Amino acid sequence: MADVARLAGVSAQTVSRVSNGSPGVVESTRGQVLAAMKELGYRPNSAARALKRGEFRTLGVILFNLSTTGNTRTLEAIATSAAHEGYAITLLPVALPTQDSVRGAFTRMGELAVDGVVILMEAHLLDASTVTLPPHSHVVVVDSNAGDRYCVVDTDQVGGARAAVQHLLDLGHDTVWHLAGPADSYSAERRVEAWEHQLRARHRMVPEPLRGDWTAESGYRAGLRLAQEPDCTAVFVANDQMALGVLRALHEAGRRVPEDVSVVGFDDIPEAAWYLTPLTTVHQDFSEVGRRCVEQLLRQIRTEEERGVTLVPTRLMVRSSTAPPGARG
Question: What mean pLDDT value characterizes the chain?
Answer: 87
The per-residue pLDDT for range 243-258, each reduced to its tens digit, is: 999 999 999 999 999 9
Q: Are 182 and 222 in contact (CB under 8 A)?
A: no
When mean pLDDT is compared over 87-91, 122-126, 139-143, 219-223, the highest value belongs to 219-223
When mean pLDDT is compared over 52-66, 95-109, 212-226, the highest value belongs to 212-226
- Please, where in the chain does CATH 3.40.50.2300 lie? 54-154+286-311, 157-285+316-328
Contacts of 56 (CB under 8 A, 6+ apart): 50, 113, 114, 115
The per-residue pLDDT for range 99-158, each reduced to its tens digit, is: 677 777 777 877 778 888 898 876 566 654 455 555 557 889 887 666 667 788 999 999
Distance separating alpha carbons of residues 174 and 171, to the nearest angstrom: 9
pTM of the model: 0.79
The per-residue pLDDT for range 29-47, each reduced to its tens digit, is: 888 888 888 888 887 655 4
Distance separating alpha carbons of residues 19 and 11, to the nearest angstrom: 13
If one compares 325 and 19, the residue with the highest pLDDT of the two is: 325
Q: Are 308 and 150 in contact (CB under 8 A)?
A: no
For a pLDDT cut of 70, what percent of the chain falls above it?
88
Helices 186-201 and 157-170: crossing angle, nearest 10°? 40
**C-alpha angle with apex 15: 9 to 89, nearest 5 degrees?**
155
Does 219 score more than 80 pLDDT? yes
- Please, where in the chain does CATH 1.10.260.40 lie? 2-44
Distance separating alpha carbons of residues 91 and 306, to the nearest angstrom: 23
When mean pLDDT is compared over 59-63, 104-108, 238-242, the highest value belongs to 238-242
The per-residue pLDDT for range 144-193, each reduced to its tens digit, is: 666 667 788 999 999 999 999 999 999 999 999 999 999 888 899 999 99
Does 53 score more than 60 pLDDT? no
The per-residue pLDDT for range 283-307, each reduced to its tens digit, is: 999 999 999 999 999 999 888 777 7
pLDDT at res. 121: 75
Residue 1 CB neighbour total at 10 angstroms: 15
- Provide the sign of the torsion angle of the four alpha carbons 5, 11, 12, 17, taken in this order: negative
Distance separating alpha carbons of residues 91 and 64, to the nearest angstrom: 11
Quote the radius of gyration of the chain (alpha carbons, Å): 26
Distance separating alpha carbons of residues 273 and 289, to the nearest angstrom: 22
pLDDT at res. 329: 44
**C-alpha angle with apex 306: 305 to 310, nearest 5 degrees?**
130
Does 267 score more than 80 pLDDT? yes
Superfamily of domain 2-44 in the CATH hierarchy = lambda repressor-like DNA-binding domains (1.10.260.40)
For the residues 202-223, what does the mean pLDDT come to? 97
Strands 309-312 and 151-155: parallel
pLDDT at res. 132: 56
Binned at pLDDT 50, 70 and 90, residue 94 comes out as: confident
Question: What is the 3-state secondary structure of 126-142?
Answer: HCCCCCCCCCCCCEEEE
Binned at pLDDT 50, 70 and 90, residue 308 comes out as: confident
Q: How many residues does the chain have?
A: 329
Residue 216 CB neighbour total at 10 angstroms: 18
Does 7 score more than 80 pLDDT? yes
Distance separating alpha carbons of residues 105 and 120, to the nearest angstrom: 12
Q: Are 180 and 238 in contact (CB under 8 A)?
A: yes
For a pLDDT cut of 90, what percent of the chain falls above it?
55
Superfamily of domain 54-154+286-311 in the CATH hierarchy = Response regulator (3.40.50.2300)
CATH class of the 157-285+316-328 domain in this structure: alpha beta
If one compares 117 and 237, the residue with the highest pLDDT of the two is: 237
pLDDT at res. 106: 76
- Is the omega angle on the peptide bond into residue 258 within 30 degrees of 0, that is, cis? yes
Binned at pLDDT 50, 70 and 90, residue 4 comes out as: confident
